[in-house]
Structure 1
């Protein structure tokens, strides 16, 4: 399974780069009639937002290599994670090709399944970590960024599909504000549930911030969208930091209580 993880991840990253237009072909923003371009809907992030994929792909490559090492091979958490990691990279490649073949409706289905897979991965990452800092950075960091970004991308994808289908409500500023608020709320809930993991919150905040940047000009220029996107971005990160501080404080409190109990005995 570790070797299969390397092979599938490498193949999926290559096909993703090929399909995204990074090494030839049509860029995603220009595929499907521009349905996913930075100015297509009120929830479309600015093009610079997609640079996060370079970090995610680098992390996935690093993870695929690291999980070959003995510590990862012995880890029950990694054993549970590998099939879902493989599913996530395959789904990401499939998503890119659905857009390349102008099947925006299919891209919505695929990214929704991808989001579900990443939620499952975040649940698995709640199991004990046994690989030290490499595990923290390459597993929790990579898949945390992956989840946080796909959360925002799912909303952007939905708006792109509904807009392309002629549902004009999804091209209005009020509905755009509502979409940003909902995405931000889900990011807040995720930060609370996972105890303030920083990587997912940063990626969600990144996506929301670049939606705000994109609304500073173009067809959907709107002060309301800029303010909402910026505020949602800040609230997600702030919630994660508070949740992390509370979790750390609770852990320290339990450790002190355990130490005092041992001394008493």
Structure 2
């Protein structure tokens, strides 16, 4: 028997499992509202269109947000899996479970804030979400899983979640700065966008090196960057230099993740 599964369940374990289920339901309700159903306003239309695909040079095209369907499906699968009796006392679930719960609630808080047109509050929520996901990701890396389910439903889902929220955070902060009237100290908006994309690419590559080339965060980050590039080529706010930088960043992050994975093939399950 795995040492990670040898502990006996405690009441707090049952509480954690139940709260994660409840948090998942809250996040799903928020997603339905944010999509425009159930009386909500579609995200691209809130706050005067500040989060639309053509609001800033760093806004991804609309299809990019389809990744949320994959993330939510993964979170639902995780919530069901972690609620199994066999998962109650596992140390990995104990260490990560409440952080995943926090991410679910912050996700819903972000949607609620943008639905209320509170762009500044939405930035606070998404940056808090980013911090929580970073902590969860670090915890999972320091406490490797011992099954395929671990690799997919924890490492994979959280990695995908983190990679996308990194991109969404940049887009959200940029929208707030534009609404606040920030002019880049007189510099070119295109130069600023290119600089931010370059910095993001460096961070994405550093993450790929640090985490041993896990594909999930690299793919999600590259997905977001690629759709920023598409938006700058096909939308009403065109910029070929920004598009090229975004595409190059996406490709570089994937290449670095692949190179690290090939160079370091051992070291636990990776997604």
Work out whether the TM-score is over 0.5. yes
Q: Helix, strand or coil: the match of 1:21?
A: coil
Give the drift of 1:23: 4.6
- Structure 1 runs of 4+ aligned residues shifted over 6 Å read none
Q: How does 1:10-21 map to 2 (within 5 A)?
A: 10-21=25-36
Q: 1:206-232 CA deviation, whole Å, 9 max, x = no partner?
A: 000000000003342111011101000
Quote the residue 2:111 is aligned against. Answer: 96
Q: How does 1:63-102 map to 2 (within 5 A)?
A: 63-102=78-117
Give the drift of 1:4: 1.7
CA distance in 1, matches of 2:138, 2:267: 19
Give the drift of 1:251: 5.1
Q: Aligned residues, how many?
A: 250
After TM superposition, the structure 1 stretch with the greater mean CA deviation from structure 2, 106-115 or 67-76, is: 67-76
Give the drift of 1:186: 1.0
Coordinate RMSD, CA, aligned = 1.6
Query: 1:163·1:171 contact (CA, 8 Å) conserved in 2?
Result: no
Q: 1:1-53 CA deviation, whole Å, 9 max, x = no partner?
A: 11221122112221232133245421000001000000000000000000000
Quote the residue 1:155 is aligned against. Answer: 170
TM-score (norm 1): 0.90
CA distance in 2, matches of 1:134, 1:244: 20
1:236 pairs, out of 236, 250, 253, with 253
CA distance in 2, matches of 1:204, 1:231: 12
Q: 1:165-210 CA deviation, whole Å, 9 max, x = no partner?
A: 1113398111111111111111111111111110000000000000
Q: Helix, strand or coil: the match of 2:235?
A: coil
Structure 2's unaligned 5+ residue stretches are 1-15
